[in-house]
Amino acid sequence: MEKSISVGLLGLGTVGSGVVQIIEQHQDKLMHQIGCPVEITKIVVKDVHKKRDIDIDPAKLTTDPEEVLNDPSIDVVIEVMGGVEKTRNLVLKALRNKKHVVTANKDLMAIYGAELLKEATENGCDLFFEASVAGGIPIIRSLVEGLSSDRITKMMGIVNGTTNYILTKMDKEGSAYGEVLAEAQKLGYAESDPTADVEGLDAARKMTILATLGFSMPVDLDDVKVNGISQITEEDLEYSRRLGYTMKLIGIASRDNDKIEVSVQPTLLPHSHPLASVNDVFNAVYVYGEAVGETMFYGPGAGRLPTATSIVSDVVEVMKNMRLGVNGSRFVTPQYQKNLKSDEEILSKYFLRIQVKDKAGAFSEITSLFSSHNVSFEKILQLPIKDSKLAEIVIITHQASKQAYNDTLTKLNDLEVVEGIKSSYRVEGEEIL
């Protein structure tokens, strides 16, 4: 039997405990895959005396990361401690010490991924991060390997389970946003400070990673246009349903003529679209390729064991590379320079809900304004508001440029007949009749 592979673990929280569990319980599978045992020899924690729900040899615990980074016997470092700046320095040191790194840290990879991958290549090390996007779904491996011969033109994804859970409950049960958020926090689906989830920041970090890999272009987090779900109302969801749509927080990365757009925003999808039926905390990524056509990757987007499974799969990949002597060769630098679409080049349909004065000629004024900006209507609902001199108009536009649509909204606020714009969302996907 060959010498065991030695692993150092940075962090022993929910996911870290899952990694320990899988490595200990799946030794036979790992032996079959790589031909030798895998042993976690050192674990960095904040408190070595803390009671834990898994049995750990106390001798393996330390509060000093240097005991992992400077130990010549440790082959692979698994980072599941979170954070960005401090963690970046630890990962850099691990790579410079010729240790392979597996991380689940989407924040780290979205901000410093290019730097860290360059460092890994220069040191002949692997840096894998499958678990950083969509938990247990192998989307990164699919983009880098399974679809490597294709040209990806678009990726649309539900990549945040917290917001998907909230929108599912609001849509299916008619509950208010604040009520469902409180429930999600109680169940542990949402953090006590849910900002990163509900304002779309978590999803934006993941879309940064996917766009960089899928388009072979250096996409930065600041390139992603982000809107969250905190302003969505029960009325928005009700009108969406009546018009044949489901509301989801969707990450969109699209490429046309070598120009790209990356965004995260509440988006209306036809009920028939595959992503519309992805509910609760599940994630899914819909990928369009010129050769393969349309594919969808679906599964648990977070959780102790699904995320840990992706991490250990990366560890197996590292070890296979070690046996073949090809570590540090998986990722290549982006092929193309960054080239972002302007607002005039971003085309989409839009959902718009406005309140207007309920009087003759009001709708005619609105129609004339939209027509002057080359924005036309596909669907319209016009409803009186009870006990009010106002009416509500809900519109689905035909495809229009983002610039033309935004210019229209600006002018719309200036119309005397318009009381106010209540909401506006993107519409994606074609209805399947």
Beta strands in 45-86 (DSSP E): 61-62, 76-79
Alpha carbon of 417 to those of 103, 378, 406, 412: distances in Å? 55, 22, 19, 9
* Helix pair angle (304-324, 14-25), 10° resolution: 60
> DSSP 3-state assignment of 257?
coil
Q: Return the HEC string of 103-162.
A: ECCHHHHHHHHHHHHHHHHHCCCCEECHHHCCCCCCHHHHHHHHCCCCCEEEEEEECCHH
Categorise residue 82: left if φ over 0, alpha if ψ from -120 to 50, beta otherwise.
left
CA atoms of 348 and 426, how far apart (whole Å): 7
CA distance between the termini of the chain:
60
Contact 169, 296 (CB under 8 A): no
206 is catalytic: yes
Active-site residue (options: 206, 248, 349, 402)? 206
Beta strands in 257-376 (DSSP E): 259-270, 282-289, 293-300, 347-357
CA atoms of 328 and 383, how far apart (whole Å): 61
CA atoms of 379 and 368, how far apart (whole Å): 16
Task: Identify the bridge partners of residue 158 per DSSP, sorted by sequence position.
Answer: 284
The secondary structure of residue 340, as a DSSP letter, is B
Query: What's the token pair of residue 328?
Result: 């540090």
Q: How many CA atoms lie within 13 A of 353 on its CB side?
A: 17
Contact 104, 80 (CB under 8 A): yes
Q: How many CA atoms lie within 13 A of 407 on its CB side?
A: 14
Contact 169, 180 (CB under 8 A): yes
Give me the sign of the Cα torsion angle 18, 19, 21, 25: positive
Task: Identify the bridge partners of residue 420 per DSSP, sorted by sequence position.
Answer: 355
The secondary structure of residue 60, as a DSSP letter, is G
Q: Which of the residues are catalytic?
A: 206
